[in-house]
Structure 1
Amino acid sequence: MSRTEPVTLTNMCMIKNKDKILVLNRNDPVWPGLTFPGGHVEPHESFNDSVVREVLEETGLKIVHPKLVGIKQFYDHNKQRYLVLFYTAKQFSGNLRESKEGSLTWMTKEELKRHQLAYNFDHDLPVFFDSKISEHILDGKRDELF
């Protein structure tokens, strides 16, 4: 029995600046709405390097010491596992600039919750905000936080 399977590896990072959070309003027609910057892990790329690269590409900010705070897993339309590594970052440099991914806005947590979020992103937020929660499992049978 094989213990390997195809997996898509991605990341997402909540960047904090005092009481504000950097939010991306995605242009993607498949998954539009507010979320945090992030993207795919490239082959042979470390998870840390991938989140630093993705944030830089999407925001112009170079984050330092991103902290892994949790994961999300689900199965995509091809029934293959999809993992999202959730990070937070408080230290960064550079000048904020938007990319083709969408517009960027600094918001408080309360402001974020009052806007149109990307599909199911509201279920991801507890992983970022509650240190007792580290995993979001989403599949056809359940949507649970652990």
Structure 2
Amino acid sequence: MSESVNYKFWTVCLVQNGDYVLLLNRQHDNFKGYIPPGGKVEFPESFTEAAIREVKEETGLEVSDLIYKGLYEYVNPEKNDRYMIFNYITKCFSGTLLEDTHEGKPVWVNKNEIPNLSMQGSIRRRFPLFFEDGTFEIQVEWDNEKNQEGEVTIKKT
């Protein structure tokens, strides 16, 4: 008999305006640095609905016409955990940008500046894939002993 797996779902939605992307300058807890808007999927909403809601909550912008770009997941065999992050991009948005939110200050950043920004490795790893044709799937096996990422597998279609 197999043990049950603990699934957790998140979304990320990169909002693009020409050569600029909308990021949050997050400066709290363990996730400091620049990150795209996103967050947990609330049951029973769809992944796309969650991405739209999270962008609105974290930036004030209404987004539409999201394009699915890929899956980023962490698996932890020792704890039977699987964390799945569904990634989207859009160029369709309206509204007024919030000054600041609990997740960080929303800022438009030129894509060319991304290599110079403080950013989590997981976001930096997938960032260029948002702008390539096709989709991606990245699986990261979590190393419990070292409390860090272990083996990383990247597939593009």
Q: What TM-score, normalized to structure 2?
A: 0.84
1:27-76 CA-to-partner distances (Å, cap 9, x unmatched) read: 33111111100000001111111000000000000001111110100036
User: Mean alpha-carbon deviation: is it higher for 61-70 or for 21-30?
Assistant: 21-30
Q: TM-score, normalised by structure 1?
A: 0.90
Q: Which runs of 5+ in 1 are unaligned?
A: none
What does residue 107 of structure 2 align with?
105
2:69–2:134 contact (8 Å) kept in structure 1: no
Q: What whole-Å deviation, never above 9, does each CA across 1:97-141 have from its counterpart, x for those lacking one?
A: 021100121111111221111243211213312224511111144
CA RMSD of superposed structures (Å): 2.0
Task: Give me the whole-angstrom Cα distance separating, in 2, the residues matched to 1:55 and 1:21.
Answer: 13
Give the aligned residue type for 1:41: V
In structure 2, C-alpha distance between the alignment counterparts of 1:91 and 1:135, rounded to whole Å:
24
Report the residue type matching 2:8 in the other structure. Answer: T
2:9 match? 9
Moved over 6 A (4+): none
Please tell me the residue identity of whatever aligns with 1:144. Answer: T
Query: Quick check: 1:27–1:100 contact (8 Å CA) kept in 2?
Result: no
Contact 1:15 1:89 in 2 (8 A): yes
Counting only pairs closer than 5 Å after superposition, residues 11-26 of structure 1 correspond to structure 2 as 11-26=11-26
The match for 1:145 is: 154
Number of residue equivalences: 146
Matched, 1:115 2:124: no
Query: Does the CA-based 8 Å contact 2:62-2:95 persist in structure 1?
Result: yes
Identity of aligned residues (%): 30
Q: Is the 8 A contact 2:59 2:106 kept in 1?
A: yes
Which residue of 1 is the match for residue 94 of structure 2?
A: 93
Q: Which has the larger radius of gyration?
A: 2
